[in-house]
Amino acid sequence: MPHKITLTGSATGPLREYDRYVAFDMREKGSPSAPKGLKKSTFISYTVFVAKKAFNKTGLTKKSIMHEKFLIQGEPTLDIPIDECPGEVGVICFQITVLPNKNDKEKNQSEEKKDPKQEASASPEALQKTESKKQEEAQAPVSQPVANGQKKEAEKVQPEVKEIPVQEKKAEPKPKTLPNQPKGTQDLVSFDEIIVPEEFLKTRPNPEKTQKVIDFVKRTGRLDEPLTIEKGSNILKDGYRRYVVAKTVKMDQVPVVYEYQK
């Protein structure tokens, strides 16, 4: 009987595309408490292989796969080459399902519960408001001073209404959150968009240090530090060794820090 495996979580590394399938890395923590006398288990890293047709049906993209939580059902495999399978265990995915966000569920449920109550409680008040409005409309043309007073009150209220969108605009910008990326990362840029100067191409990074970075990427699914590129031109300013590593492991996107033109 073949072994079956079920995983839940998000991708810990960028999506890698091949001819007929895609691959990405994820990991799961071990049991919080081990049997008496045994050591606690640590997390296990997996490399999941999904057919392109099945992956496209989920609606996931290279960016959303890092944020969405999904369920993987498949079988473990040991026949994938190490270069394509940096995880400790390879998994052939038979089915991938995007899991709904718990916060969205709770909000929808709370709104559904509140709506009928609000409608029931608001019905008598709404009747009183409509009656009072009819009385005001009938009295307004008789007394002009009241109408002028209402205009002044309306003018006082208008500045307050205008101030509301200004406060909302100030609260909108939020810092970017890039999960599972090295400290200091400002953005993710396509590897093909980075321009390498000739002075870097003439040099050769230390093979031992380069291999250490390659091993780190295979363990964690990410670079140890971001590349430094020039804002706008995408010219590489620092991190040529990590650029070579990203090219070796065929990374689609790399973490970067921007250097602005003087």
Cα–Cα distance, 151 to 167 (Å, whole number): 26
Has residue 68 got a pLDDT over 90? no
The model's pTM:
0.40
pLDDT in tens, 183-213: 889 999 999 999 999 899 888 899 999 999 9
pLDDT in tens, 7-58: 888 888 888 998 889 999 988 876 667 777 787 777 788 999 999 989 998 8
Query: Which strands sit side by side in the sheet containing 227-230, from one edge to the other?
Result: 187-190, 253-259, 227-230, 236-238
Percentage of the chain lying above the pLDDT 70 cut = 68
For range 88-110, the mean pLDDT = 78
pLDDT in tens, 120-167: 444 556 666 666 666 666 555 544 444 555 555 555 555 554 555 555
93-97, 114-118, 119-123: segment of lowest average pLDDT: 119-123
Average per-residue pLDDT for the chain: 78
How is the chain split into domains, by residue range?
A: 5-30+40-102, 187-259
CB of 218 closer than 8 Å to CB of 252: no
Domain 5-30+40-102, CATH 2.40.50.1040 — does that match?
yes
What CATH topology corresponds to 187-259?
3.90.1530
